[in-house]
A and B are shown apart, each in its own frame.
Chain A
Amino acid sequence: MGLNYYKIKRNVLKARKLVIQGTSAAGSGHPGGSFSMAEILGCIFYKHLKYDPKNPTWEERDKFILSKGHASPGLFSNMAVAGYFDTSQMKTLRQFGSKLQGHPDLKCPGVEFCGGSLGIGLSYSIGNALAAKLDGKDQMIYTVMGDGESDEGQVWEAAMAAAKYKVDNMTVILDRNFIQQDSYTEKIMPLDEELVGDDLTDMWKDASRWKTGDKWRSFGWNVIDVDGHRIEQISNAINKANQTKGIPSIIIARTIKGKGVEHMEDNPQWHGKAPKPEFVPIIEQELESQFMIAPSIIAGDMSNLEKEVRRCEEGRADYIHLDVMDGQFVPNTTFDHTKIKELRPHTVIPFDTHLMINDPVKHVGDYIDAGSDIITVHAEVCDESSFGEISDMLESNQVGIGLAINPDTELPEWSYKFIPLLDQIIIMSVVPGKSGQKYILSTHEKTQRIIKQLHENHFEGYIEADGGVNLDNIGACFEDGARAFVGGSAIIGQSDVRLIIKEFRNQVLHSRRQLLIKKAHNLGGIELVNQWIDLHVVGKKKDSLVQIAKELGFQ
């Protein structure tokens, strides 16, 4: 069974947009802490939690307990996406008469804990877990706590009790976003070490300075550290935690408060403040413009792909792009599913498997079994019936569904009905078959044209730019509408993969900032542009935005 990566990602985006809509309509609420835990809740709701939104009190369900109750918009938005209630209800958040109270409340069917007063949820979760054990139920309790919340002494009372009672049917996730209401946690009440000055960057990055895990370990817990915005890491940690028996488990998820919206990120001001309505469309555009970098490892040492996978891991790639060539659909041969299976244990980074093979319907099962997280097949070798079969297999195995077209191919008529299901479309910008070719310039125009078509047909996936993508053209590819970028020799061919990926990201970030400033200008002229820029108070973001606005003639 796959990771359900794309479904999770899609739903996380929907949930984030609902948080913005809900808090903005309410004029108050806590977007910052809702966004820091967005991927965590995505993994819980769309991969691990057992529940039935049509029967919220189903006896055999797992329970999700949001101990950091102020992040209720994050919970409610996921409940809406999961189908507990209609997404339109998010606009009633915090309103008189709404079941979506300021903090999670049993008034809303599906909510399992009245949060709000901090430090109680872990004890309460232990109670639920003990009850499940007494009743002999195969039931998990998932609890999300805050780091500011960890100031509460009761948290540590509960930590001791969970170890004493060997509560192993409960998985706790600490949303370690380093910010509480007044300021950085490490200034108010350090969990790692006291922060001197106002720059958290070094401490955030330096694992040798993190002591939160040691605290939990010393209380007798199994501790797993993850990047709390990496779906694959969170999900893998949840699996490990759930399998650990005899002691309680906590996943310490290092996160960024306000993640997904640049001006909210790492800014303590956004702990408990709602975005103004005029910024909502810009923020939505920003959320829709998240992007992924996917190195293609065939551009590296084919005799040692394990090493290339490690380089991608060290370089913090979002996906690993695996070009499978059969010597028939394309002249070259690379590797097949047996190699992918060998590579799978080396990383949890999603495998973005691109099948450049004939008769993909015959082989797709092998590639699912090998551990692919998305499988993209070529339209040229499918028809409605075979692609329908492929799509069903992928969906039922929680593997992403991708469709690719060659430079000289258009999206076939038969594919339109599948568009809402597609997680990814690859518009090839080189003739597939080998690494190191030049980007075909007409692909820009083609991508823009196809995207219009896709939006008319309810596409919710990502466009992946594949072929000749480099630092010079990645910005233009982003402007076309591509959101995932395969880098062959331009990434894997470089000596410092981490550095080049960072440069790729910065380039896309620059284009995204341009896009958002243009959006602000369209919506409210120079005045709104300036207001938008002024929101960006943390770090050097503002300087860059001012520069971009000048270049665009908006200053």
Chain B
Amino acid sequence: MSEQQFGDMRTEYGKSLIEIGEQDQNVVVLGADTTDSLKTAGFGKKFPERFFNVGIAEANLVSIAAGLAYSGKTSFASTYAIFLPGRCVDQIRNAIAYPSREDKKGLNVKLVTSHGGITVGADGGSHQQLEDIAIMRAIPNMRVLIPADSVSVSKLTWVIAQEYGPFYMRMARSKTPIVHSESQQFEIGKSITLRDGSDCTIAATGTTVKLALDAADSLKQEGISCRVIDSFSIKPIDVESLEKAARDTGSIVTCEEHNIMGGFGSAVAEVISELYPVPIRRIGVRDKFGESARDNEIPQLLEKHGITSINITNTVKEIRSKK
């Protein structure tokens, strides 16, 4: 096995924005005093007239982005995940997602955040966004993406730049293991099956995709064949693949760095319970807040909340006995 490669999501985001900005004069980028961190400052250097750093004023950030979008711009508004969906749900709902005219549903604003989930670590529970999927997927016209690695970020940034309408995309703070090849294609509303299997499906999103792969590898050694799905598109969700997974494998384990209430696991459960009910187990933060952990302690923090490949492995074994 080759050595695991890591990639930085934010760096890829910043690079992609510059490439997109070179091709599309209509793209504008907005930040809220976190532009170095989000790596959007490079766009600002290259295209200063299309870059707006509004200071620590997130409500203003998303509403100015909405105004620019109404006048025909493609707005990318970025800051930390903790400060966008939760702090600005009203502005996102009423100024971005709600305004619709004819076939244009919502305004053309891309909300791209970093520091999602508990792997934020040291900054502590106040900075660990664990509710964003629930908040954003409850808003009509809003589409929700959680890329698993830096390759996904780079590709998805292009996809959302070209697809009209509001998007929420959450990145992680730390460098993340690369799980996709450079040639991987990404389509909104589709998932990517990374391992095929017949005994159980592990559907994961964001940084937990890597944990799912590790769990599947370890289960394979025990003779259990798992299908692993990267559900980067949480809304719209890939109904077809999920239903097929339920039929083919008879059980589903979901993984996310998010509260299991209203998050990705809930979204999967909604689909499966309606279309082809099979046992489901949701791995994620169980209705709690996070806490500080230095980088080398993040595995301990994840372990405390059961977001580990070992817990996935155990859960798959447990759920198979319920089939």
B187 at the binding interface (Cβ < 8 Å): no
Stretch binding the partner chain, chosen from A114-122, A264-272, A346-354, A414-422: A114-122
Give complex CA distance A117, B100 in Å. Answer: 16
**Residues of chain A at interface, number, CB under 8 A:** 31
Contact status A123-B28, CB under 8 Å: no
B30 to chain A: closest residue by CB: A127
The contact of B63 among A134, A153, A154, by CB within 8 Å, is: A154
A114 touches B94 (CB 8 A): yes
CB <8 Å contact, B67 and A160:
no
Q: Mark A148-162, 1 if CB is under 8 A from B, else 0.
A: 000001100110110
Provided the pairs A130-B52, A134-B49, A157-B57 are in contact, do residues A117 and B90 lie with their beta carbons within 8 angstroms?
yes
A113 to B99, CA, bound (A): 7
Say yes or no: B64 contacts A154, CB within 8 Å: no
Q: Are B71 and A127 in contact (CB-based, < 8 A)?
A: yes
Give Cα distance in the complex from A63 to B68, angstroms.
13
Chain A, residue nearest B91 (CB): A120
Residues in A123-168 with C-beta less than 8 Å from chain B: 123-132, 134-135, 153-154, 157-158, 160-161, 165
CB of B140, distance to nearest CB on chain A (Å): 13
For B322, what are the chain A residues with a Cβ–Cβ distance below 8 Å?
A: none
Q: What is the CB-to-nearest-CB distance from B111 to chain A, in angstroms, rounded to a whole number?
A: 14
CB distance from B8 to the nearest CB of A (A): 30
Cβ-defined contact, A126 with B64, below 8 A: yes
Query: With A160-B55, A160-B57 as given contacts, are A125 and B67 in contact (CB-CB < 8 Å)?
Result: yes
Q: Is A479 an interface residue (CB 8 A)?
A: no
Whether the pair B70, A124 counts as a contact (CB closer than 8 A) is yes
Contact B55 A124 (CB under 8 A): no
B299 at the interface (CB under 8 A from A): no
Partner of B60, one of A63, A109, A158: A158
B71 touches A131 (CB 8 A): yes
Most buried by A among B57, B67, B73, B101: B67
A112 within 8 A of B: yes
Select from chain B the residue with minimum beta-carbon distance to A130. Answer: B68
Residue of A nearest to B57 (CB): A157
Judge whether A106 is part of the interface by a CB distance below 8 angstroms.
yes
Q: Does B211 contact A (CB under 8 A)?
A: no
Partner of B54, one of A63, A117, A132, A161: A161
Measured in the bound complex, the distance between the Cα atoms of B28 and A165 in whole Å is 15
CB distance from B62 to the nearest CB of A (A): 8
Contacting pair A116 B100 (CB below 8 A): no
Pick the residue among A131, A153, A158 that contacts B73 (CB under 8 A): A131
Smallest Cβ distance from A420 to chain B, in angstroms? 36
Question: What CA separation (Å) do A43 and B77 show in the bound complex?
Answer: 35
Task: Please name all residues of chain B whose beta carbon is closer than 8 Å to the beta carbon of A157 when the two chains form the complex.
Answer: 54-55, 57, 59-60
Looking at the assembled complex, report how far the CB atom of A139 sits from the nearest CB atom of chain B, in whole angstroms: 9
Q: Report if A124-B98 is in contact (Cβ < 8 Å); known contacts: A134-B28, A157-B54, A157-B60.
A: no
Most buried by B among A113, A123, A153, A160: A123
User: A154 near B59 (CB under 8 angstroms)?
Assistant: yes
Is there contact, CB below 8 Å, between B95 and A128? no
* Chain A 77-121 interface mask (CB, 8 Å, partner B; 1/0): 000000000000000000000000000011101001110110110
Whether B66 is near chain A, meaning CB under 8 Å from some CB there, is yes
Distance from B69 Cβ to chain A, minimum over Cβ atoms (Å)? 7
Give the docked Cα–Cα distance between A75 and B93 (Å).
Answer: 22
- Smallest Cβ-Cβ distance to B94: which chain A residue: A117
Q: Which residues of chain B come closer than 8 Å to A105, judged between CB atoms? A: 99
A109 to B102, CA, bound (A): 10
Please judge, given known A-B contacts A114-B94, A160-B57, whether A124 and B67 are in contact too, CB under 8 Å: yes
Question: Is there contact, CB below 8 Å, between B59 and A124?
Answer: no
B99 adjacent to A123 (CB under 8 Å): no
CB <8 Å contact, A128 and B91: no
Q: Decide if A135 touches B72 in the complex (CB within 8 Å).
A: yes
Q: Which residues of B, 32-79, contact A by the 8 Å Cβ criterion?
A: 49-50, 52, 54-55, 57, 59-60, 63-73, 75
Asked if B50 and A124 sit within 8 Å, CB to CB, the answer is no
Name B53's closest neighbour in chain A (CB-CB): A164
Partner of A124, one of B54, B66, B93: B66
Give the residue name and chain of the B residue nearest to A141 (CB): B67
In the bound complex, how far is the Cα of B71 from the Cα of A127, in angstroms?
8
Quick one: given A134-B50, A154-B63, are A128 and B100 in contact (CB under 8 Å)?
Answer: no
Complex Cα–Cα for A135 and B54 (A) = 20
Q: Are A130 and B64 in contact (CB under 8 A)?
A: yes
B interface residue numbers (CB < 8 A to A): 28, 49-50, 52, 54-55, 57, 59-60, 63-73, 75, 90-91, 93-95, 98-101
A-B contact pairs, 12 of them (CB 8 A): A114-B94, A114-B98, A116-B94, A120-B66, A120-B90, A120-B95, A123-B63, A125-B67, A127-B67, A127-B70, A129-B67, A160-B57
